[in-house]
Structure 1
Amino acid sequence: MNRLKDKVAIVTGSTSGIGIGIARLFASEGAKVVICGRREAKGQAVVDRIAEEGGEAWYHFMDITDTESIEKLFADTVEKFGKLDILVNNAANVALKDGRVDELTIEMWDGIFESDMRGTFYATKCALPYLKKNENGGSIVNIGSMASCGGDLGSTAYACAKAGVDLLTQATALQYGKDNIRCNCVRPGLIVTPENEAYVPQPLKDIFVSNIMVNRYGCPEDIGHMCVYLASDESTYVTGQIVNVDGGMNSHVPTVAQFRELNSRTW
């Protein structure tokens, strides 16, 4: 239970969903976790829950679209804890229904890129000087999306932004590896959280379960466990990687679900 002992971690967007799952697991492994987002009451609730579970956390306001609030988050974190070891870029606008190319307005496109691509870039940029000061560097974990794996009927801007996160991951890993800074990306599959469960229709769940290799859809802890590994010293030889945590959905030919319905392995 001490895989992240004495490490200081910022988890952006950790007032709900996947971010809470990551933050709680980090704290359970000994990290001092900075909970951040725009909703103070929800953030403080996460801090209180972590404290009840025996961990240490602190809430700090952050708006992923506001560069000044991002800068202040990092400066205040280092002032409070003396250092930064881990950044998880989780905050994003999950606009899965943003539309087709001809349906998107430039305002919709810019809004999604501002939070999902620009925000991840700027948080990474702000983290680098602090991580460079550490003798052992640090770890950046970006939360991507399986939407970036290929074209789809919608979600155009969101998928393009998350594809940018994939490449930003590799560029960061290459450019700062010699500073002992690692950068990896985790692509979640369908993750059902307490906040979104009521809004995820059963047909969508059925589509995913029919196309994945396991018998369930994902939960925030599935992503959290991978993030713990990538943030810990166990993965010091792992960088520049884009890891799918999707129940195996993207590791097979796209016709598996249909052939299963036919009780057949081939045509």
Structure 2
Amino acid sequence: MNVKDKIVIVTGAGSGIGAATAKHFAQHGAKVVVSDLKEEKARSVVDEILKSGGEATINVANVAKFEDVEKLITETVKKYGQLDVIVNNAGIGPRQMAKTAEYTLEDWDNVIAVNQTGVFYCMKLALQQMMKQGYGNIVNIASLAGLKASLNNLSYSASKFAVVGMTKSAALEYATKNIRVNAVCPGYTESALLEKLLSVRPDMDQMLKSVIPMKRYGLAEEIAEAVVWLASDNTKFITGQTITLDGGTSL
């Protein structure tokens, strides 16, 4: 995949899909800005990339804060002179899964702030820079929960449906500007969010696997491969798409 020397920001890159994506970009020769709210986790990913001979820097940011996203984009461009790709991966789930009538205001506000508004902030500022330079590529991490109903998970589902819509709208707006916008929609994937769910409901492990035709969870590395492919020069005619990586669950 041709991403050599591309300047890439990955948000939420301290663990899970974000960390795997940052490492995968670096393995293919990209220069990666590893952004996460937790500095220690981001530092660990950067160190691993550097030890493997790749190039990476750290930028601590909370995507729910507009000023943090401004700093992230500004510092990246100041250091490298450009921004080729941004992967909007940072995301959270609710503290407590519940039906809509019992859903807490805190969980609604927090999840929407990170998963939806945070993606908007990153897209808005990245697109401004990409318009200046005349090209760019955005890959948003949505979810199977953004394509189909997700029980007891209103804010997460709403935010991921929003990411799918934002992806398609922006792709249409900037299709003539040499800027591509796509999304990936992972199904049940080994990640911190899944671990959190199973720690509360261990009995759900077998139930979840039973609805996945491949009878296993996805791997973060498998999602990362699709993200890097979409961000590469191998997919120049692809924009506005949502690629579902769910082991057949949506079937």
Query: What is the TM-score of this pair, normalised by structure 2?
Result: 0.93
Q: Distance in 2 between matches of 1:211 and 1:247?
A: 10
Contact 1:64 1:115 in 2 (8 A): yes
- Could you tell me how far apart the structure 2 residues matched to 1:162 and 1:48 are? 31
Q: Which of residues 117, 134, 146 is equivalent to 1:148?
A: 146
The answer to whether structure 1 residue 232 and structure 2 residue 222 are counterparts is no
Aligned pair in 2 of structure 1 residues 152, 96: CA closer, same or farther (>3 Å)?
farther
Match of 2:113 in 1: 114
Q: CA deviation at 1:226?
A: 0.3
Counting only pairs closer than 5 Å after superposition, residues 99-178 of structure 1 correspond to structure 2 as 99-135=98-134, 137-178=135-176
CA-to-aligned-CA distance 1:105-125 (integer Å, 9 cap, x gap): 333312211111000001000
Alignment length, in residue pairs? 249
Map 1:18-97 → 2, pairs under 5 A: 18-95=17-94, 97=96
Distance 2:243 2:209 in 1: 20
SS of 1:234's equivalent in the other structure is helix
Q: Residue 207 of structure 2 corresponds to which residue in structure 1? A: 207
Indicate the SS of the match to 2:100.
Answer: coil
Moved more, 33-42 or 71-80: 33-42
Aligned-residue offset at 1:197: 4.3
SS at match of 1:49: helix
Amino acid corresponding to residue 104 of structure 1 in structure 2:
Y
Tell me: CA distance 1:184–1:217, structure 2 relative to 1, closer, same or farther (3 Å). Answer: same
**Distance 1:224-1:96 versus aligned 2 partners, 3 A rule:** farther
CA distance in 2, matches of 1:133, 1:120: 20
Rounded Cα–Cα distance in structure 2 between residues aligned with 1:165 and 1:8: 23
Deviation at 1:199, TM superposition (A): 5.9
Query: In structure 2, do the counterparts of structure 1 residues 162 and 198 end up closer, same or farther at CA, with 3 Å as the change threshold?
Result: closer
2:164 partner letter: D
Distance 2:73 2:51 in 1: 25
Change (3 A) 1:148 1:193: closer
CA distance in 1, matches of 2:21, 2:182: 15
C-alpha distance in structure 2 between counterparts of 1:191 and 1:199, whole Å: 12
1:214-267 Cα distance to aligned partner (Å, 9 max, x none): 24211110110000110001111111011111111002xxxxxxxxxxxxxxxx
1:16 Cα shift? 1.2
Q: Which amino acid aligns with 2:12?
A: G
> Counterpart amino acid of 2:213?
M
Q: Is the 8 A contact 1:190 1:217 kept in 2?
A: yes
Q: Once structures 1 and 2 are overlaid, which stretch shifts more, 39-48 or 70-79? A: 39-48
Instruction: State the 1:194 CA deviation.
Output: 7.2
Taking the aligned partners of 2:116 and 2:150, their CA distance within structure 1 comes to 19
Q: Is the 8 A contact 1:96 1:158 kept in 2?
A: no
Distance 1:165 1:195 in 2: 18
Distance 2:243 2:51 in 1: 32
Equivalent pairs: percent with the same residue? 39
The amino acid that maps onto 2:91 is: A
CA contact (8 A) 1:62 1:70 kept: yes
In the alignment, is the contact (CA less than 8 A) between 1:98 and 1:158 conserved in 2?
A: no
Q: Distance in 2 between matches of 1:35 and 1:12?
A: 7
Please state how far the C-alpha of 1:213 moved relative to its aligned partner: 2.7
Q: Structure 1 residue 72: deviation in Å?
A: 0.5
Unaligned stretches of 5+ in structure 2?
none
